[in-house]
Structure 1
Amino acid sequence: MWGAHAAVDAPNTIQLEMSNEVARSQAVNALQGRYRYHRSMDEELQAMQTLSDEDPVGGETNEATVETALRSGSGSHTIQVLVGGQQRELIIDTGSGKTAFVCVGCNNCGSKRRHQPFVLTDNTTYVSCDRSMTFQTSRGEPACMACENGKCRYGQTYVEGDHWSAYKASDMMQLSPSFEARIEFGCIYEQSGVFLDQPSDGIMGFSRHPDSIFEQFYRQKVTHSRIFSQCLTEGGGMLTIGGVDLARHTEPVRYTPLRNTGYQYWTVTLQSVSVGDPSNTLQVDSTEYNADRGCVLDSGTTFLYMPESTKDAFRLAWSRAVGSFSFVPQSDTFYSMTTDQVAALPDICFWFKNDVHICLPSSRYFAQVGDGVYTGTIFFSPGPRATILGASVLEGHDVIYDVDNHRVGVAAAMCDQPMQAAVELSLDPGGQKFHAEFDYSEAPQWMLAGITLLAVAGLINAIWVAAATEGEEAPARPTKPAQETTTTVPNDWQGEEFSFFLMQEDDDRQPH
């Protein structure tokens, strides 16, 4: 795995050359498919229909670090690791907590993976239900779904119907030759839906779940704290486990407290959304953003999802920012624009509790799907109720996920900055810390969750490459208004976006 990259060793540090390979995002391919589909349905109008401007609203330092090459996956971010001496490419997903990949014996599990199915070795062991290192969830759900012939059955099901089923196993996982731990994972024997078309071998979970990789490395005494950060950019970035790389930041970190919603997600309180001027906010009650699953930071989802109930308010805020209802960047609407015209459109900013915010530029809420044709990547979803801030929103920021201090930190950062031969990481990045706001109706479960884990030492720092959308760098603002054309795609293409956040309720409840 590492022999393919140039490595520079320094005290307590290893640096590896990052791969320059960037694969096309499956999610963008899906958007292009939507566009092609509609064109084939309406050749006379070239799949374009003029939209009037008057259209009404419708409806510390490091003890050790490791940096390892990552690839861009299909609409997702992936990391290269060794498990049982075999190379695996796994999707990094903050929206789920389980790690699993296809094993030998998996029938009808797709044929597009980069590697052959995992072969169990003499060091691989199946995990029985009473021997798992993880715990029950807060609702009393066991770590295993069932016991079959002494094996722990394990899986994940999503609202859309996609799923994978596996037997829980354990083996050594290496992020570098000096960073390894015995981890538990799912050995997939059956899967469906989006998983069949993925070139990656499986998924690596980073949510607030006891099976999450950062939790497992902590329990195995490889890392010192339950903290990790992601610094995403269009063409590259950094994943840091056990600490934070403050040197990349271009502004101080600000922290917002985590919410306990009963789900395992990284959920924060979204107070408002603005378009252009910070005062131009959507005129909706903040409860609309935070209902049910709440506002979730999810690197396993490519784009932005907002509740359907906020759609009209968004269109009104957009019209106030640009002077018309032109170029509203909602999904399934296509526009003829130049890169100049895209660059002229306003930022969309998300304002969280404690004065934390993330802004989304137009280059990340529009995707080019044809010659001079762009589509919006803001999806207004009728359910399940949630606001999902996907990778397109998180790019350009170092996002710090800190379990022990019950917070998420955000700082604008140089996520594409080249690696250094020696990297100093902070074990404790400082800043405001928070306490959990308990739901006292679940006090017995939360008391169990307070069992102290063993203290551990070390840091892991891993490079990663974000999935890049093709297109030019946006130039200066245009000198004249653009001619707008638009069309809406029928429902035949709904549900094609790449995402992993929509787990069924029994699967995504908050663990302890």
Structure 2
Amino acid sequence: MASSFLSKLMRILLCAFVLSVHSSFEKKVLVHGAQITVPVSSLSPSVNCTASTNNVNSTLKLVHKYGPCSQLFDGGPINHTQVLLEDIARVKWIQSKISNSISGTSDLKESKVSLPASYGPYRSSYVVTIGLGTPKKDLTLSFDTGSALTWTQCEPCISCYNQTEPIFNPSQSSSYANISCSALSCIQLPSGTDQLTGCSGSTCVYGAAYGDASFTAGFFATETLTLTPTDVITNFEFGCGENNQGTFEGFAGLLGLARDPVSIIEQSATQYGRYFSYCIPRSTGGTGYLTFGKGTVTSASLNFTPMVTIAQNPLFYGINITGISVGGNPLSIPSTVFSNAGAIIDSGTTFTYLPPTAYTALQSAFKEAMANYTSAPPALPLDTCYDFSLLSDITVPAITFSFDGSINVDLDVSGMFYVLDPSLVCLAFVANNADSDGVIYGNTQQRTFEVIYDVPGGQIGFGAQGCS
């Protein structure tokens, strides 16, 4: 029976497609107080890349790694089985990292989905393309606020996985230099990798391992990092990985944006003041952006909430969620539910993972508001789904998150749903195993917002309509 269930689950997910919205979507949205009406046709998938009309002069273009705007796009449909399974694995990895300071448990209920051991936690949904070396070579890196070290595959490879672009060859760059074992940055590197450094002669050797036994190892070095023709970081410290094994594929490595000395945020502090922002597009076929520096912020209206430090894992960006409203009505959730669990905001997790008490209240209120719509079977771990295939328009209740600082964030419609098919549209939230598990505010809920990280100011901001 278990085999039959998993087979059915895989068949459902393999034909899935992520919620995507046409560029004309905004013109079709009707807001009626605490309800929003959208055409079902706006949920169709994007088959072509549509450039955002916002922030066209931004530092880096941000795209979904499996979407048509990505260098990794192979012309085929997104493998959403992989997306869902990677997301669960990433959540388990994050919660294991923050369990000492937030939670006594770290796993989602195993009954919700069977997770193959081959799926790793470290593959963010979105990528950016940077230039490395002199002359520069373009490399597509996974963009991640949950990791600190930036690394890429390097020749000569002891073992390298398949990537779309040519593997970086440091011998062809005039600006490459290895870092000494005695250098302070080598000594401090374990805070950003959770691994001890080593030495090859006098050269610093790094390693970073992930929860599924994937790892990268190689030389810790400096290079010239090019963001735009006028945004160049010299002597940028990164991992030049000659031995990279596990579940990585397609992209050339990772761009680390977490809070640690080795992060690009800290390394570029004199240039950009430890201030950055990004906007995740509404559609997987759209383009967003990643910018560095306060002067690049474009949203006219910003609301800030305090940035919280997670005691045992300061790499993550913590936030305080204070409540959720559905259809303009605050849910009856005890204030201790969020404060006891603690929460982080993460660019690499697809859904928002809530304490069961909060999720149950959200699910109940949402179902009540959607009572006139036909329900559909769950697509685990998503369990609140609808069939919109015979409808021309739908009216959904607004979902609002409240954060410390008395700010309210009204989710875009694209931040409410995960669409596998017009006949299978699911609420894009997941219940944790226990109320004590760490809460993760995922990237679906961040769609269309300019999310600002003011590290020296100790605050995170949200600007509506940051990108389309």
Whether TM exceeds 0.5 here: the answer is: yes
For residues 193-232 of structure 1, what are the alpha-carbon distances to aligned partners after superposition, in whole Å with 9 as ceiling and x for unaligned?
431x2x21111111111111121122xx433x12111123
- Tell me the residue number matched to 1:397: 449
Counterparts of 1:362-401 in structure 2 under 5 Å? 362-370=413-421, 372-382=423-433, 385-401=437-453
Query: Is residue 2:69 matched to residue 1:22?
Result: yes
Cα RMSD for the two superposed structures: 3.9
Sort the Cα spacing of 1:362 and 1:231 in 2 relative to 1 into closer, same or farther, 3 A.
closer
**Helix, strand or coil at the partner of 1:194:** coil
**Helix, strand or coil at the partner of 1:273:** strand
**Helix, strand or coil at the partner of 1:396:** coil
Give the distance between the partners of 2:424 and 2:255, measured in 1 at CA: 34
**Helix, strand or coil at the partner of 1:379:** strand
Sort the Cα spacing of 1:259 and 1:82 in 2 relative to 1 into closer, same or farther, 3 A.
same
Query: Is residue 2:287 matched to residue 1:236?
Result: yes
- Tell me the residue number matched to 2:156: 105
Whether the 8 Å contact between 1:162 and 1:193 is mirrored in structure 2 is yes
**Helix, strand or coil at the partner of 2:425:** strand
- One-letter amino acid matched to 1:231: C
For residues 259-285 of structure 1, what are the alpha-carbon distances to aligned partners after superposition, in whole Å with 9 as ceiling and x for unaligned?
122221111111112222242x1x443
Give the distance between the partners of 2:192 and 2:57, measured in 1 at CA: 42
Higher RCO (C-alpha under 8 Å, 6+ residues apart) = 1
2:258 to 196, 207, 222: 207
Structure showing greater radius of gyration is 1
2:395 to 344, 353, 371: 344
Whether the 8 Å contact between 2:186 and 2:204 is mirrored in structure 1 is no
For residues 2-54 of structure 1, what are the alpha-carbon distances to aligned partners after superposition, in whole Å with 9 as ceiling and x for unaligned?
xxxxxxxxxxx98899799524699952248889xxxxxxxxxxxxxxxxxxx
TM-score (norm: length of structure 1): 0.60
- What displacement does 1:372 show? 3.6
**Helix, strand or coil at the partner of 1:222:** helix
- One-letter amino acid matched to 1:273: I
Sort the Cα spacing of 1:32 and 1:193 in 2 relative to 1 into closer, same or farther, 3 A.
closer
Counterparts of 1:411-430 in structure 2 under 5 Å? 411-416=463-468
Give the total of aligned pairs: 359
For residues 118-177 of structure 1, what are the alpha-carbon distances to aligned partners after superposition, in whole Å with 9 as ceiling and x for unaligned?
434343222233214477489899995333433323233334444333331111111233
**Helix, strand or coil at the partner of 2:294:** coil
TM-score (norm: length of structure 2): 0.65
Whether the 8 Å contact between 2:351 and 2:428 is mirrored in structure 1 is yes
Give the distance between the partners of 1:341 and 1:330, measured in 2 at CA: 26
- What displacement does 1:91 show? 1.7
Whether the 8 Å contact between 2:350 and 2:442 is mirrored in structure 1 is yes
Whether the 8 Å contact between 1:132 and 1:143 is mirrored in structure 2 is no
Sort the Cα spacing of 1:32 and 1:174 in 2 relative to 1 into closer, same or farther, 3 A.
closer
Query: Is residue 2:240 matched to residue 1:187?
Result: yes
- Tell me the residue number matched to 1:316: 364
- One-letter amino acid matched to 2:220: K
For residues 420-452 of structure 1, what are the alpha-carbon distances to aligned partners after superposition, in whole Å with 9 as ceiling and x for unaligned?
xxxxxxxxxxxxxxxxxxxxxxxxxxxxxxxxx
For residues 219-268 of structure 1, what are the alpha-carbon distances to aligned partners after superposition, in whole Å with 9 as ceiling and x for unaligned?
xx433x1211112323122322121445x325x21211111222211111
- What displacement does 1:335 show? 4.2
- One-letter amino acid matched to 1:255: F
Query: Is residue 2:144 matched to residue 1:93?
Result: yes
Query: Is residue 2:360 matched to residue 1:303?
Result: no
Give the distance between the partners of 2:425 and 2:164, measured in 1 at CA: 30
Sort the Cα spacing of 1:140 and 1:216 in 2 relative to 1 into closer, same or farther, 3 A.
closer
- One-letter amino acid matched to 1:183: F
- Tell me the residue number matched to 2:32: none
- Tell me the residue number matched to 1:258: 307
- Tell me the residue number matched to 1:486: none
- What displacement does 1:330 show? 6.8
Query: Is residue 2:221 matched to residue 1:169?
Result: yes
- Tell me the residue number matched to 2:129: 79
- One-letter amino acid matched to 1:29: N
- One-letter amino acid matched to 1:229: S
Whether the 8 Å contact between 2:352 and 2:442 is mirrored in structure 1 is yes
Give the distance between the partners of 2:190 and 2:82, measured in 1 at CA: 42
Q: Which runs of 5+ in 1 are unaligned?
A: 1-12, 36-57, 60-72, 417-512
Give the distance between the partners of 1:409 and 1:134, measured in 2 at CA: 33
- One-letter amino acid matched to 1:191: N
Sort the Cα spacing of 1:272 and 1:82 in 2 relative to 1 into closer, same or farther, 3 A.
same
1:158 to 187, 210, 214: 210
- One-letter amino acid matched to 1:397: F
Q: Percent identity?
A: 24
- One-letter amino acid matched to 1:190: N
**Helix, strand or coil at the partner of 2:206:** strand
